[in-house]
Each structure stands twice: as structure tokens, then as C-alpha cells.
Amino acid sequence: MEVVALVSGGKDSCFAMMRCLDYGHKIVALANLIPEDDAVDELDSYMYQTVGHQIVVSYAKCMGLPLFRRRIRGSSREQGLKYNVTTGDEVEDMFALLSEVKRQIPSITAVSSGAIASDYQRLRVESVCSRLGLVSLAYLWKQDQTLLLDEMIRRGIVAIIVKVAAMGLKPSAHLGKELAELKCHLLQLNESYGINVCGEGGEYETLTLDCPLFRNARIVLDDFEVILHSPDSIAPVGILHPLKFHLEHKPNSFGTVGDSATAQENSSYLYEVDGAISHSDVEKKQETLSPVTTVDACTNIDLCISKTGKKLFSIGCWIQDPCGTSEGECLKTDLVAVLSRIENQLKEEGLGWMNVLYVHLFISSMKEFGLANEVYVSFITEQKCPLGVPSRSTVELPLVQVGLGHAYVEVLVTKEQVKRVLHVQSISCWAPSCIGPYSQATLHGEILYMAGQLGLDPPTMKLCPGGPTAELEFALRNSEAVANAFGCSIFSSAIHFLVYCSAHLTSSEKEQVEHTLRSSYITSLDCSNTGSYPTILYVFASDLPKGAYVEIKPILYVPSPTNDDGVPTREQEAGGSLPASSEAFSAWSAQYSDLDDSCCQVHTIGGKICSAVVSVTNDIALKICSTTEQLYHSEEHLKALARFCAFQLAKILIDNGFSWDNLTMLRFYYSVEHPVTADVMSRVFSEAFAELEEGGVGSCTPDGVPIFNIVPVSASGCFTSLSDIISCELLASKV
């Protein structure tokens, strides 16, 4: 990509540009924001007065690139972490600056910035990029600062300290010193006082005088003065104010460099960006986009809906009667109908997309992924989700084969507008970016719902080479990076792991995936706090995004700081448990007494979270049906299997003190290798739950709709080598 780099004069923005080159991008322009001249009373303004900002202008000469500069007219008016467009805010000056860069150099598609740890800075750059249709590149984001500092010095960043404001840093001793000279001292201060060695906490600031990007010349500082801003005895604040400098030619440079600092400002390298701030053409186009087809055009589509639980619940919606137009039009029409129906269901309950925590998007063809996204973003937007957009997982399933149309959506909903969302849209070395209205992870209560993670190399956003096992390793690494951002780990906090695998995997590759997951993940699990392993289910999908072989979707437990002892609060205990003393239920228990619990995985945390997987294998099915016939040749056999599943799930809830009201998710996966429609599967499970309810285990259908979703897949099971006839996936929560 062709990139404009935001530069401040410091080491971070320069090294971020070097990282851009490392990953194949091309820096074609620089952009710089400076304070107004009358801001001399501000601490950070000294660096930008006269000679100071001329040094930054000289970067253009040293690199042979144009520099676009704008004086900041606004102030920090919108001080919330997430930026909302605010007239008069300094972020709008960045918007005006980058708008002009894009106008003059239309080939630019990305913006580089030196953000390392500041969400405040990153989110503002991402906001501007989103509005201008640009990609944010933040290759220093979330990097280990000790390693980062070492790499900057090792790769030739020559930067001097121009501001100090931390314990252990003295204006008289450290201002003007090169970063390399202070490396050991900074590491000692980090060990003693915990300072950020890269200065991310404002401990110090730098001015870059040379780096490998400066191919024409280096900057030589001839004179400066030290300004003591705060003579504090513990952490004095001081600034180095440049007074005079010159540019020194580099050998074999092709550019011409003048010695006069004033000449630098008047050169053709500098473009002053003035004028009022206005909406860009991109924003105007976005504002005038007509909405995708409304649900009124889809009234001939038969839609079905499901719903679990009460306070925290899932809503599923699917097509009963697929349309007959072309594949692309079918997907668009069906997805509009499904999302509209869910939107209306939310409205009926006084809710909206802002209440949605997670979206499972199942589509009939991954070739139409772009079209599906187009429809998706017409419903779920940043504006509709002020607390953050939901996390999402998208896979291709054989929907059409079983009569479910071309789109199937399940959303996880909370009635509370309380959640913490991680939505990093910048491309970085940290974890895969989420450019668009879906986030990496959403934390609600004490449960973290993570988006489906692919084996992507974060800085390039390409699938890693090496096949399924390599992708799994990268997906685990990416999941851990996201988990760490919430102060947890997939190795000690996992509740449930859903592993999507491509149906195109060979038998050998399936075994390798399971072996890799066991050796790289399962054997490293820390179960000291919970006493049991997280539940794990393999689901084989027709296709995954980007043609990936593997996608993992973890659900993690993140204990609340105010209730981290694992003991549920009074509110969490609410809901009671299922009554289990009825004669009918006892009869069911007796009927299945000879079947061991090997078909069940159960993982509970503190009596407030329960995850379960029930696998109905061929061996189990033969015992239930007491027949050697083909198990799918009789609807009666299906009813028997559904009855067993319903009983096992009820028993799991009973044994662990949960009720149907606590149910947040319940799915039944079945293989399309067997000639059974989704309608038949849905009916036999509905009858099984109705019989269960009659048996005295509480209301399984409180709203008169199914509490479960039927999901057709290529195969599923707790092992990749075995294909279950039916796999049940349950999550219940009192959090």
C-alpha cells in the first residue's frame, strides 16, 4: 500500500515508518500537526517554535518526500476514550490534514502512526481513517517496549531526549543525550520504578536526528537551550529547545540539501494545509448511500426464530423457504430478511443492535462474503452501537441442502447496556485487525466472547504458510494476544473452545489438527482454579473466511475485580434450578442408566457458568435405538436421539444448579451426509423438549419458540477422527 506517515519528530513515528517498509508498503508522504504560534505557554509547544518545527520540516528533505502540515485550530473537546466527531476538536484538524493529502495523492490508501500503548491516540487515528476510507497501520501497537527500544537503537534510530518528566530523569543530565546512551539507565528505571522504557507514560520525549529513512541527509543540532518547566525535587520537568541546526549530506545521496533552515520551510517539499474543515467526498457518499432492501420486499420468505434465556439470551433466525433467484441475489435477499426479523424482535423487547454482544453469521457461500458484509454493515453500524460493535464469527455451512436458505444468523443479546468491547482496526504486529463493524472480543459480566480467530499473520493480514497445523498455531497465538488485552489467558481462563475446521481437510490433516491442539494447547492448560478442562467441540464447515483451514472461537472467564473468589453473588444465584423429582424424569434416568457419561463434557465455574458438549456417536445411538438399522432411515430413531439429548442437557443443568432461564446458548449440529432436512430435525427436538417439559423439568419454551438452533454441518464431534450423529453445545450463565 502507498502510505502517508504521521510524524511528530520522535523516534516512534520514524520507526513505525521503517516497519511499514519491512512489510512491503511504500511511504509516499509525511503529515504533521503543530500547535498555533500563540501556544507558547504550553509545555509541549517549545519543541514546535521556530527552529523546532523547522527540524520536522527537514525530514521531508532528508527523505525526499512531500510534507503536509497543518496548524492545530481545535482543542481536546471530546475527551472520552472512543472518539465521536466533534466540531472544534483537534482530531478534526487531523481529518482536514489527511483529507488534503488524499486529495492531492489519491493513490494513498493507508496511514502510519507510532502508537504503542495509547488507546486514546489509536482510536482517534482509526476514526479519521475510517471516515476517509484509509487503513490505519500501527506496527508498534502492543509491542514489548524493552524489545522495541532495543530494536530501534539496533536498527539505527538516532534520537535525542528533548523532554523529561519522570523520577530518575534529570533535565541537566539527560536532555540532549542520545537514546542509545540512556538505554541502560532507562532499563534500570523500569526495574526500580516501573517507568515505560519507550516513554509511553510521558516520562520522556525524543527528537530523531537520523535513521535509515533519511537517505539524503542527517540533522545536526548546533545549539539549544534547556528550559526548566518544573523544578520538582523528585521528578523535575525540563525541555530542550533547539536554537540552531544544519543538514549534513550523506554519502551517495541523490538529493540536494541547503544549509539554511529557513530555506527548508520555503522549499517545494512543504505543503501548508489551511482552510475550514468540511466533509470529504467519501463521507458524503457514505451519508447518501441508500439502505439495502427493506424487509417489506421479503414478505414471501418464511422466517423461523428461536430464543433462549431471559437477561442474557440468544436469538436465532433462519429461512424456511429459500428463494429461487441467482445465488448472489438469494444471499442478499435472505440475509436482509433474517437481519430485519432479528431487528424487529429486538425492538419488540425494547432493545437494539447496541444490546448485541456477538453475532454468528452463517452463509451458504463464502464467495459471497463481500456481499454479506455489505448487507451486514447496513444494519449493524458504529452509530447504532455506542458502546462498541459486536464480535462476530462467519463460516460457510450447507444451508441450502437442508432447506435453510442462504443466510442464518444467531445473536447473543443482553438486556443491560454494559459491556467492554475491544475493536482494534489498525493493522499491527499485535493481533489481526477488525476493519469494519465487528470487534475482536466483547466482555459482558465475567464472560469474554472472542471473535473467530484465523491463522493470520497480523502485520500482513495474510494466512500463514504451512497448512492447517501452522494456521492453528497462529490462531492460538492471536487468541492469546486478544485475551491478554483483557488481563486473562486462553490457557487458564477458557470456558469453551469451538474449533471450526474446513471440510476439505484430509483424514491425516484432521488428525494433525487435533494432535497440534492437544500438544500446543490442551497439555498447557492451567486448571488449578476450576478443576476441570474447558469443553472443546470440532465443527467441520464447508468453507472459512480467506479459504482458511482452521478458525477457533474461544469463550473465556474474566473474574470481576469485586468478586474474584469464585462465589456467586445473590444476583447470580437467582433463577433457581430445574425440578428433578418427577416420576417421569426418574423414568428417563433409569432408561439411560446403562449409558456412561463419556459422551458428555461439562465445565463449570463457581456455580455461575456452565459449558457442556454432548456427543451422540454411532455407538451411543445404537444403544439408544437398540437397532442395527441405518439410524437415519427412521424419524422414530431421530426422536429417540433427540429425547436422549434433551435429557442429558436437563440433567447437566440440574446437577450443576442451573435453570432454563440461565440458558444463553444451545445448538444442535448434525451432518448433512444424512438425508434429513432441518425442518425434520427441528420438529423432533421440539417434541423432545415438549415431552421433557411435561415430565416436570420446568418450562423449556417460555416464549413459545424453540430454545435451540439446528445447525447443519459437514461433520462435528469432540474428536476430529469421529463424526457425531448429533453434537450438542450448551452455555448457561448466572453472571
Among candidate residues 372, 376, 392, the one with its CA nearest the CA of residue 384: 376
Confidence of residue 683 (pLDDT cuts 50, 70, 90): very high
CA distance 251 to 305: 71
How many other CB atoms are there within 10 angstroms of residue 78's CB atom? 20
Q: Are the beta carbons of 39 and 16 closer than 8 angstroms?
A: no
Has residue 319 got a pLDDT over 60?
yes
**What's the per-residue H, E or C state across 626-656?**
CCCCCCCCCHHHHHHHHHHHHHHHHHHHHHC
Among candidate residues 688, 674, 684, 635, the one with its CA nearest the CA of residue 402: 674
Predicted local distance difference test score (pLDDT) of residue 160: 96
Q: Which residue has the cell 536526528?
A: 209
Instruction: Note the pLDDT tens digit of each residue in 62-73.
Output: 999 999 999 998
- Chain centroid to Cα 398, Å, comes to 26
Buried (b) or exposed (e) across 203-237, using 16+ Cβ within 10 A?
Answer: bbbbbbbbbebbebbbbebeebeeeeeeeeeeebb
Confidence of residue 262 (pLDDT cuts 50, 70, 90): very low
Predicted local distance difference test score (pLDDT) of residue 676: 85
Predicted local distance difference test score (pLDDT) of residue 299: 54
Among candidate residues 734, 724, 666, the one with its CA nearest the CA of residue 700: 666
Confidence of residue 253 (pLDDT cuts 50, 70, 90): low
For the segment 324-328, the average pLDDT, to the nearest whole number, is 51
**Residue 182 CB partners (closer than 8 Å, separation 6+):** 161, 174
Could you tell me where the beta strands, DSSP code E, fall in 583-631? 600-605, 609-616
Give SS3 for 554. strand
Domains of the chain: 2-251+269-274 (3.40.50.620), 303-523+541-552 (3.30.1330.40), 583-733 (3.30.1330.40)
CA distance 654 to 677: 31
Instruction: Note the pLDDT tens digit of each residue in 535-579.
Output: 999 999 999 999 999 999 999 999 987 654 444 444 444 445 555
Q: Per 3-state DSSP, what percentage of the chain is helix, strand, and coil (rounded to 5)? A: 35, 25, 40
Instruction: Note the pLDDT tens digit of each residue in 77-100.
Output: 888 888 888 898 999 999 999 999
Predicted local distance difference test score (pLDDT) of residue 321: 65
Confidence of residue 310 (pLDDT cuts 50, 70, 90): confident
Among candidate residues 177, 181, 180, 203, the one with its CA nearest the CA of residue 190: 203
Q: Are the beta carbons of 291 and 331 closer than 8 angstroms?
A: no
What pairing do the DSSP bridges indicate for beta strands 441-444 and 447-450? Answer: antiparallel
CA distance 296 to 13: 51
The neighbouring-strand residues paired with 358 are 391, 412
For the segment 584-588, the average pLDDT, to the nearest whole number, is 70
For the segment 138-146, the average pLDDT, to the nearest whole number, is 96
Predicted local distance difference test score (pLDDT) of residue 662: 93
Has residue 76 got a pLDDT over 90?
no
For the segment 156-162, the average pLDDT, to the nearest whole number, is 96
Interaxial angle between packed helices 678-694 and 635-655, expressed in degrees from 0 to 180 and rounded to the nearest 10: 50
For the segment 318-324, the average pLDDT, to the nearest whole number, is 68
Confidence of residue 634 (pLDDT cuts 50, 70, 90): confident
Has residue 41 got a pLDDT over 70?
no
What are the distances in angstroms from CA 187 to CA 180, 390, 718?
Answer: 12, 39, 47
Helices H / strands E in the chain, number of each: 19, 30
For the segment 353-376, the average pLDDT, to the nearest whole number, is 96
What is the DSSP secondary-structure string of 162-198?
A: EEE-STT--HHHHTT-BHHHHHHHHHHHHHHH---TT
CA dihedral 348, 449, 110, 33 (to 10 degrees): 90
- Chain centroid to Cα 554, Å, comes to 12
Confidence of residue 719 (pLDDT cuts 50, 70, 90): very high
Among candidate residues 483, 333, 317, the one with its CA nearest the CA of residue 406: 333
Among candidate residues 92, 97, 101, the one with its CA nearest the CA of residue 127: 92
pTM score, two decimals?
0.90
| Residue-averaged pLDDT of the chain | 87
Has residue 170 got a pLDDT over 80?
yes
CA dihedral 333, 334, 336, 339 (to 10 degrees): 180
Confidence of residue 324 (pLDDT cuts 50, 70, 90): very low
Has residue 294 got a pLDDT over 80?
no
Instruction: Note the pLDDT tens digit of each residue in 193-244.
Output: 999 999 998 999 999 999 999 999 999 999 999 988 888 878 899 999 899 9
Has residue 301 got a pLDDT over 90?
no
CA distance 434 to 411: 18
What are the distances in angstroms from CA 457 to CA 135, 436, 453, 494, 519?
Answer: 17, 18, 11, 23, 21
Query: Element (H or E) spanning 56, and its range?
Result: helix 51-63
